[in-house]
Chains A and B, each alone.
Chain A
Amino acid sequence: MFIKRQGRHHYLIELNANVEITLKSRKDYLTGDNSDIIPTDTIKNTVHALAKIKGVNTIEQFSLDLCHHFLTSFNHVLRAKVYMEEAPWKRLNKNGVEHAHAFIYSPEACRFCDVEQNLGTPVVHSGVKDMKVLKTTQSGFEGFLRDRFTTLQETKDRVFCTTVYSRWRYNKVQDVDFDAACCIFIIYSPDSLFLFLHLYTFLWPTFVEEIEIVMPNQHYFTIDMTKMGLNNKDEVFLPLDSPSGNITGTVCRKQRARL
């Protein structure tokens, strides 16, 4: 965890880092010669030390710093891959006033990133996962194909719940506002993935080149109470663990030609 203090106002970021490096040499495997090996303990220490030396602003920037360090400090490191997850600490808020140094753990969504660099430009992905959202109306599903195995009824209004996983790739790494790109789309979830991807692209920043979204359809079924003589008007539901449908899609930006 990294804390930055600006007077009485404190900022914190807690993260879980996974660092992999690939070396050029093979003598450790072939002859048992360890002289090229960078111990994992050293890698761990490097993460701590770089947090102190460079500070941690966003997990993406810190990942970039780590990759850059390993590729430039040694001449036998071929590739560095860093995966990070950020702990969802949220500043405590009372009546719209933010507290200077108190936080509460609010796992609404897990923000993660992965950076991979092989001696060239790093490739940065960011994402959110485990973001469970639900809407109680204005979601429907109709007009689908029917065959002899289809029993699903069309509906114009249903409860829609999903846990969003989304990962996107940037087309540049300098001057990127990684916080802005981590857009939370809780409020307006769609009827279908198609519509979602199509409309989300109106909003995505120009430095995002591709986005992948995975949404399992978590069902809530109206419980049939007719045998108990009750008319359940979509008031009492039963959540279903499984089976569930899984919808995935990837959209990538159409490249513009350059004058």
Chain B
Amino acid sequence: MQAEWEELARRNWLEESDSQQKPIPPSVSPGYYFSTTNPFRDQPNAFIEGQEKARQGDLNAAVLLLEAAILQDPNDAEAWQMLGTTQAENENEQAAIASLQRCLELRPNNLQALMALAVSFTNSGLLREACDALRRWIRHNHRYRHLVQDSRGPTSPLQDVLLLFQEAALLNVDGVDPDLQTGLGVLYNLSSEFDKAVEAFSAALSVRPQDYLLWNRLGATLANGNRSQEAVEAYSRALELQPGFIRSRYNLGISCINLGAHREAVSNFLTALNQQRRSQSCSQQQMSANIWAALRIAISMMDRPELFQAANMGDLDLLMAAFQVGDL
């Protein structure tokens, strides 16, 4: 009987029945959804202030300021890029993808946007799109573009790009290129070779030890490779460097769930949601849906039905009181 099921899985039974229905639309996002009420709409120097807010860790305010900057000048590629990376840090993946894609429409060779997009696609399980973004990264990178060849062997898109990055890494005999290593780390995550991904991110961190994004990426790689305890340490480093880093706090909560520390998990999720809410003019929509979903799961493991109901209702105040989570 087990063999029957494995056969089904091999034949991708579910995908076969899919093919009779209309295909799911590709990952092209419908465009960026701007906040409906933006108090910074006409703010001068919105971009610079947005950058400053992001640096301070007030991600929600940063998002609003960057949106304002874009509404004032819709072709500001730098603002789109910053908005994309900030939304990713704020645990809003769809918004991040939409922003970064818009940035790349304006500036197709923007390496940071390509790398950030590859990460977002990886998080969303979109392997082909992630590989595509990384391939474009190499192609637009002066140091490595000569490695790209058009000949496509019978290997998969993932193996193709992985080979490219590995060849590129061999070129760096006298030093580590942290961006290249980040790309390698992302690719090894996609191929589930988590130990190699850990090595790559660690190499990048040796050059940039204060880069909280890298600490989070290392942590996430460790977590997805079932090294939850080490993941917690990496996330803690990231949060020391940037306490407002919502994504890392979300990840920390997830690792707490995996380690069976449900109370700590809930505490982390509530802290993150409170940070988002506390920021100026943040509506319910601007809190991350992912964090709410993870919070529901953590509470469901605690056998407290009244709190689970509160989580479904989105009653943050009740939950914060119940778990004694105060303002940071």
A contact set with B: CB distance below 8 Å: 79, 116, 118-121, 123, 138, 171-172, 174-175, 177, 179-180, 183, 188, 190-191, 195, 199, 202-206, 209-210, 252, 254-259
> B172 interface residue, CB < 8 Å from A?
no
Contact with A along B199-242 (1 / 0, CB 8 A): 00000000000000000110111011000000100000000000
Contact, CB under 8 Å: A257 / B314: no
Shortest distance in angstroms between B324's beta carbon and chain A's nearest beta carbon?
23
Shortest distance in angstroms between B203's beta carbon and chain A's nearest beta carbon?
16
Shortest distance in angstroms between B318's beta carbon and chain A's nearest beta carbon?
13
Shortest distance in angstroms between B89's beta carbon and chain A's nearest beta carbon?
10
Q: Which A residues are CB-close (under 8 A) to B2?
A: 195, 199
11 A-B residue pairs with Cβ-Cβ distance under 8 Å, sorted by A, are: A118-B314, A175-B25, A188-B1, A199-B2, A202-B8, A203-B14, A209-B297, A255-B254, A257-B255, A259-B122, A259-B220
Q: How far does the alpha carbon of A258 sit from the alpha carbon of B216 in the complex, in Å?
A: 8
Q: Which B residues are CB-close (under 8 A) to A119?
A: 284, 314
Binds A, one of B100-108, B148-156, B286-294: B286-294
How many residues of chain B get a CB closer than 8 Å to chain A's CBs? 53
Q: State which of A209, A255, A259 has its C-beta within 8 Å of the C-beta of B217.
A: A259
Contact, CB under 8 Å: B312 / A123: yes
Q: State which of B8, B125, B254 has its C-beta within 8 Å of the C-beta of A188.
A: B8
Q: Which B residues are CB-close (under 8 A) to A204?
A: 14
Q: How far does the alpha carbon of A205 sit from the alpha carbon of B12 in the complex, in Å?
A: 11
Shortest distance in angstroms between B200's beta carbon and chain A's nearest beta carbon?
12
Contact with A along B1-31 (1 / 0, CB 8 A): 1101110110001100110011011000000
Q: Which B residues are CB-close (under 8 A) to A172?
A: 289
Q: Which residue of B lies closest to A177 (CB)?
A: B24
Contact, CB under 8 Å: A203 / B1: no
> B274 interface residue, CB < 8 Å from A?
no
B contact set with A: CB distance below 8 Å: 1-2, 4-6, 8-9, 13-14, 17-18, 21-22, 24-25, 91, 93-94, 119, 122-123, 125, 185-186, 189, 216-217, 219-221, 223-224, 231, 247, 250-251, 254-255, 257-258, 284-285, 287, 289-290, 292-294, 297, 300, 312-314
**A120-B21 contact given A257-B223, A257-B224, CB 8 Å threshold:** no
Main secondary structure of the interface of A (DSSP, over half): loop
Q: Which A residues are CB-close (under 8 A) to B287?
A: 120
Q: Which B residues are CB-close (under 8 A) to A191?
A: 1
* Residue among B14, B21, B221 having the largest count of chain A Cβ atoms under 10 Å: B14
Q: State which of A188, A257, A259 has its C-beta within 8 Å of the C-beta of B186.
A: A259
Q: Which A residues are CB-close (under 8 A) to B231?
A: 257
Contact, CB under 8 Å: A256 / B292: no
Shortest distance in angstroms between B190's beta carbon and chain A's nearest beta carbon?
10
Contact, CB under 8 Å: A120 / B285: yes
Q: Which A residues are CB-close (under 8 A) to B223?
A: 257
* Residue among A199, A209, A210 having the largest count of chain B Cβ atoms under 10 Å: A199
Q: How far does the alpha carbon of A130 sit from the alpha carbon of B251 in the complex, in Å?
A: 39
Q: Which residue of B lies closest to A123 (CB)?
A: B312
Contact, CB under 8 Å: B14 / A180: yes
Q: Which B residues are CB-close (under 8 A) to A180?
A: 14, 17-18, 21, 24
Q: How far does the alpha carbon of A183 sit from the alpha carbon of B216 in the complex, in Å?
A: 36
Contact, CB under 8 Å: B17 / A203: no
**A202-B224 contact given A121-B292, A183-B14, A257-B219, CB 8 Å threshold:** no
Q: State which of A171, A195, A203 has its C-beta within 8 Å of the C-beta of B293.
A: A171
Contact, CB under 8 Å: B123 / A259: yes
Contact, CB under 8 Å: B257 / A255: yes
Q: State which of A120, A190, A206, A257 has its C-beta within 8 Å of the C-beta of B251.
A: A257
Contact, CB under 8 Å: A256 / B224: yes
Q: Which A residues are CB-close (under 8 A) to B122?
A: 259
